[in-house]
A and B are shown apart, each in its own frame.
Chain A
Amino acid sequence: MNDSPLTALFGYFAMLSLFAIGGANAAIPDMHRISVEVMGWMTSRQFADMFAISQLSPGPNVIIVTLIGYHVAGITGAAVATVAMCGPTCLVAFGVAHVWDRFKDAHWRIAIQAGLVPVSLGLIGASAFVLARAADNNVYAVAVTAVTAVVAFATRINPLWVFGASGLLGLSGWL
């Protein structure tokens, strides 16, 4: 049967793994759609919280998948979701790594590489939009998002400072 949460977690993230060009950040809107609207695993607010926690944790951004899995089905869920999100793409990387260098100057390779950039740009843009909508509940939160965007674009500031400052602002109760 397909109604076990573990089966749902595995099937969904294994599929997502193969379409998330641009990494976990490109897949945020779809994870939000499935977790909140389709499966009803959590509220939009909880999803945003998990994204924040995944940003606070060291390591690759994909770690949000572990948190979703844990929320849905405990430690087993965390393991299943993480393996499903990393497994298929690892196998693909494993297979492609050998042939890739050989076709360095092939026209098809250059076309694929160039063609995927704008798609992943649009997907990451959608992630930013979905997160901003989930987080920006008032004018102060919008201001934090906007100021962070400008500062991060113009400088090479360590994100930890930004998170520290915005966390304090949140604590103060303005957001």
Chain B
Amino acid sequence: MSNPAVPSGAITDPPSLYELFKAFAIVSLSGFGGALPWARRMIVEQRRWMTTEEFNEAFALSQFLPGPNLVNFSVVFGLRFGGPLGAAVTLAGLMGPPLVIVMILGMLYARFGDVEVLSRILAGITAAAAGLLIAVVAKMAAPLFLTRWNSAPAIAILAFVGVAIMQWPLQLVFLVLAPVSVAFAWFKR
């Protein structure tokens, strides 16, 4: 009934649980600074589990849901291909290996975080990471700000000011702006 079939147009055989785990572990471990391109490469190009359209659709859903996008994506994807067990397996593949690595880094930081050399290196990386995030914002903003008349720029600026300048709690800003923004989108047609 509501059990979603393997999407048409993509590959024939549904992947095994082991293959699901392996694919998401590889994507996760390759994904420095955002694993989306790797996920697309693995799922659409290499394994052909989804067509580009199916991938975009599933990823749009993951972005719309609250919480970490890739975590959502792994659940949506695992559910479709292996039911609840599949979702558990893709999630474990996505989170397991990086958790081990980051715990080791966390322990090293707890031990050596005060070392001047390390903190200088991390300061450089943070400065660059902030720049990467600005680029992400610019890429997201370009299509929204170029449309001649819409509410998107105002909403985005209000969200920015509320969280960054006023330092209001995220949930407060969200609960006020999200309904307004959705209402604008609803009436625009």
Contact = CB atoms under 8 A, between A and B. Distances in A.
Contact of B123 (A37, A111, A175): A175
B82 to A, nearest CB: 13
B167 to A, nearest CB: 6
A110 interface: yes
A70 B4 CA distance: 39
- For the complex of A and B, the 9 pairs showing the least CB-CB separation, nearest first, are A170-B124, A59-B98, A122-B159, A89-B67, A148-B131, A115-B182, A159-B33, A152-B135, A166-B128
Contacts of B140: 117, 121, 124
14 contacts: A19-B174, A45-B119, A59-B98, A60-B71, A70-B110, A82-B95, A86-B67, A118-B151, A124-B137, A128-B130, A129-B160, A132-B127, A132-B134, A152-B135
B71 A53 contact: no
Contacts of B67: 17-18, 20, 23, 62, 85-86, 88-90, 92-93
Nearest to A74: B110
B135 A121 contact: no
A11 interface: no
Contacts of A96: 61, 65
B123 A141 contact: yes
Nearest to B99: A66
Interface in A55-101: 55-63, 66-67, 70-71, 75, 78, 82, 85-86, 88-90, 92-94, 96-98, 100-101
Nearest to B77: A97
B131 A144 contact: yes
A25 B170 CA distance: 12
A143 B70 CA distance: 31
- Chain A interface mostly: helix
A131 B167 contact: no
Given A19-B170, A111-B185, A98 B4 contact: yes
Interface string B75-100: 11001100010010001001101110
A104 B182 CA distance: 17
Interface residues of A, number: 111
B51 interface: no
A93 B76 contact: yes
Interface string B122-157: 111111111111111111110010000001110111
Interface in B163-178: 163-164, 167, 169-171, 173-175, 177-178
Contact of B155 (A49, A101, A119, A170): A119
Contacts of B44: none
B184 interface: yes
Contacts of A104: 57
Interface string B49-75: 000000001001111111111111001
